[in-house]
Amino acid sequence: MGSSLNAERIKKLVDNCKLDELRRIGQETGFQDARIRRIAWPYLIRSFGDVKNFEIKENTTSSFSEQIALDTKRSCFKYFASEKAWDEMSEESRAKAHSKVEEMQNKLNRVLNMVFSQGSSLHYYQGFNDLANTVMSVITDESECAQLCHHLAANQFSLCTTPSLAPVTDELSLIFHILGFNEQKLLDHLTKANLNDPFFAVGWVLTWFAHDIDNTEAIARMFDFMVCSHPLAAVYAATVVVLVERDGVLAREADYAEIYSFLRSIMTERDHEREQEWSKEVLRATSKVIAQKEKAMGPPPHFLGYVQMILEQTTALLKRMPPASFHTCTDVLFPKYPILCTSFDEEHLAKAVARRERRRELTRTVVVGGILGLAVVVVVAVASQGRAEGYT
């Protein structure tokens, strides 16, 4: 009942173009299930950047077809069953499951080739398959899925779908820039370990964490947040993960390999830890009936809680250090990549302009006042000198 009412509410917001309210919901709580996301995601994806329908040609190939084929062969498994469930399947069940997964992989392959077809100027990158897989898990129509994925590739991920990695490197560099303002000791430890570039976060940023997380509901929750936020939100979320895992980083020697390995695998480890905790809880149940009921209910949302905490802290960090603030403290990114100067920055920029104008006005007042004051002093001095000469 609640889900149905929620879906009705979301549809009304979409119909009335209440973008700000939809974004607030997506950031704060997410859209909860596939039915609601099916209503919200298309509108939210198209709300960013240029709304241009790319001509989708079915049964097409691209210059990236070979790499796409390799990547799709590794995709879709998590959307059919968890790693633990795959291990527990009988051979017969596993064979049937593989057949269904292959159908999903073929569909994903077709979608990606449509997005990066010969008529597109976009460049495919490894990891976009994870992103497209997330969209496809909600948007089942191939043509619509391809349209939405193309829009993402051309807008939110436009820095990633170019021939050069330089824009992505610049984007990632902001992680350490933000860390420096929030946790200098942590940044110093990373620097001491010669971890000068945050390449451990490449997968997080390029796929909105979909590559590193197995929990599909957590992946969808991440997508809810990212599609409602500034295009640099994934960079901020990556920074928050490092801040949250601060103690784990500082507890390790300042060794590149050790710290890189720890950070690179942290999201996967946190995901699996919570699955293992759930398994232990089930095993501890004294009654087989209780154990069966608990198992049927599935794991408690331990990892979802971790993800929600990361997103809440990301929201706070975005407010405390808005991306537009980098206009005044660094020229590393924005002048090169105007796509990142978005409507999300307008309020902050308006306030910054107002502050600058107030400072200029104050400066003008001080300067004018100073000039007038000096003029008065000069006049008084001249008059005094004149009177003195008259007396003589």
CA dist 81 → 77, 85, 87, 325, 388 (Å): 6, 6, 10, 43, 102
User: Helix, strand, coil: what percent of the chain each, to 5?
Assistant: 70, 0, 30
Q: What is the pLDDT of residue 318?
A: 94
Show the 3-state SS of 307-323. Answer: HHHHHHHHHHHHHHCCH
pLDDT of residue 54: 63
What pLDDT is recorded for position 300? 46
The least confident of 13-17, 77-81, 162-166 is 77-81
Instruction: Dump pLDDT digits (tens) for 335-366.
Output: 555 555 555 555 544 554 455 556 667 766 65
Reported confidence tier of residue 227, pLDDT bands at 50, 70, 90: very high
Instruction: Give the type of residue at 123.
Output: H
Nearest of 339, 335, 333 to residue 175 by alpha carbon: 333
Cα–Cα distance for residue pair 127/68, rounded to 1 Å: 10
Domain 164-334 matching CATH 2.60.40.10: the answer reads no
Which residue, among 218, 183, 246, 232, has the nearest Cα to 309 in the 3D structure?
Answer: 218
- CA distance linking residue 157 with residue 340, whole number of Å: 10
Give the Cα separation of 113 and 146 in Å (integer).
9
Question: Do 187 and 176 meet the contact criterion of CB atoms below 8 Å apart?
Answer: yes
At 224, is the pLDDT very low, low, confident or very high (cuts 50, 70, 90)?
very high
pLDDT of 125 strictly over 70: yes
Q: What is the tens place of the pLDDT at every residue in 11-69?
A: 999 999 999 999 999 999 999 899 999 999 999 999 887 656 666 666 677 788 899 99
In 3D, which of 135, 116, 138 has the Cα closest to residue 125? 116
CATH number of 48-162: 1.10.8
- Name which residue leads in pLDDT, 28 or 5: 28
pLDDT digits (tens, 9 = 90+) for 264-314: 998 888 877 655 554 444 444 444 544 454 455 444 447 888 899 999 999
List the structure tokens of 198: 């945050």
How many CB atoms lie under 10 A from the CB of residue 252? 15
What are residue 39's phi and psi, to 5 degrees? -85, -45
Distance in angstroms (rounded) separating the CA atoms of residues 159 and 286: 54
Query: CA-CA distance, 115 to 1, in Å (whole number)?
Result: 37
Q: What percent of the chain has pLDDT over 90?
A: 49
Long-range pairs of 186-193 with CB within 8 A, sequence gap ≥ 24: 186/242, 186/243, 186/246, 186/249, 186/250, 189/249, 189/250, 189/254, 189/259, 190/249, 190/259, 192/254, 193/253, 193/254, 193/255, 193/256, 193/258, 193/259
Q: Where are the domains of the chain?
A: 48-162, 164-334, 342-392
Q: How far apart (Å, rounded) are the C-alpha atoms in residues 348 and 283? A: 52
Look at residue 365 in the predicted model and tell me its pLDDT.
64
Contact between 167 and 337 under an 8 Å Cβ cutoff? The reply is: yes
Phi-psi domain of 230 (left: phi exceeds 0; alpha: psi -120 through 50; beta: other): beta
**If DSSP codes are grouped into helix, strand and coil, which group holds residue 373?**
helix
Confidence of residue 82 (pLDDT cuts 50, 70, 90): low
Per-residue pLDDT for 214 more than 50? Answer: yes
User: What whole-number distance in Å separates Cα of residue 297 and Cα of residue 355?
Assistant: 54
Measured CA to CA, the distance from residue 384 to residue 138 in angstroms comes to 87
pLDDT at position 346, please?
52
pTM of the model: 0.78
